[in-house]
Amino acid sequence: MRNIALHLSYDGSSYHGWQVQKNEITVAETLETALTKACGHPVKTVGCGRTDAGVHALRYCANFRTDCRIPIERMALAVNSRLPMDIAVQDAVEAPEDFNAIGSCIKKEYIYKIHNSNIRDPFLQKRVCFYPQQLDLTMMQRAAEAFEGTHDFRAVRSVGTETKTTVRTVHWCRAEKEGDLITVSICADGFLYNMCRAMVGTMIYASYGKLRPEEIPELLEKGDRRLTGPTMPPQGLYLNRIWYDGEVGEMMLK
């Protein structure tokens, strides 16, 4: 049985997130339907993590097992011919037997895009967070740096799937601006439900002086979600990069 890892990208605007659900169209369900047709047998995928409704992925990894004989160099074309235009397989590799898209992941980077202008761009409507109030990038960056390191991040998560621990290590968190577009990049060894969007909301609170960047470590220690910033809208969030060992890792960083 072959274990195949896929490098995907998708626009999440039309989907209720990655994970298969009973009454909603999801990315995983759509991909599994295409893989089932291409491989000639039912296929179940393992994704590298949940992305919520409206969230996008520039790079996403999923793996599945099959005994089909499609050559690995033809796999992307075979699946893409059966996928809608807003999901694409960029590449595929034969993964080790014990590879698991979520369990083998070393770290991930999400980015959050904010269109900080008082004039909206209709072509970016479902791909950025439109935020007309002027934001202070310097204060946002100071707040971003306060999240770096190993902390209990329960103060910036929404109630969702239970986890064994809410402690995570944020390798970097930074805010950069080019023209009217602010991009927040957050890399961590793992993420809690809505953690990125709440971190960005807290950075925006710091921009307005509703809290000081220096307070963030103390707020994380208190663990009270009511004391940190709002959960930002989903359309600005993208899974940007994923790290693995070996050939899968090389594929995902192309």
Residues identified as active-site? 52
Per residue, the 3-state secondary structure of the chain, as one string, reads: CEEEEEEEEECHHHCCCCCCCCCCCCHHHHHHHHHHHHHCCCCCCEECCCCCCCCEEEEEEEEEEECCCCCHHHHHHHHHCCCCCCEEEEEEEECCCCCCCCCCCCEEEEEEEEECCCCCCHHHCCCCEECCCCCCHHHHHHHHHHCCEEEECHHHCCCCCCCCCCEEEEEEEEEEEECCEEEEEEEECCCCCCHHHHHHHHHHHHHHCCCCHHHHHHHHHHCCHHHCCCCCCHHHEEEEEEECCHHHHHHHCC
Q: How far apart are CA 190 and CA 6, in angstroms?
A: 20
Residue found by looking up tokens 């659900």 in the block? 21
What b/e string do you get for 159-171 counting C-beta neighbours within 10 Å, with b at 16 or more?
A: eeeeeeebebebe
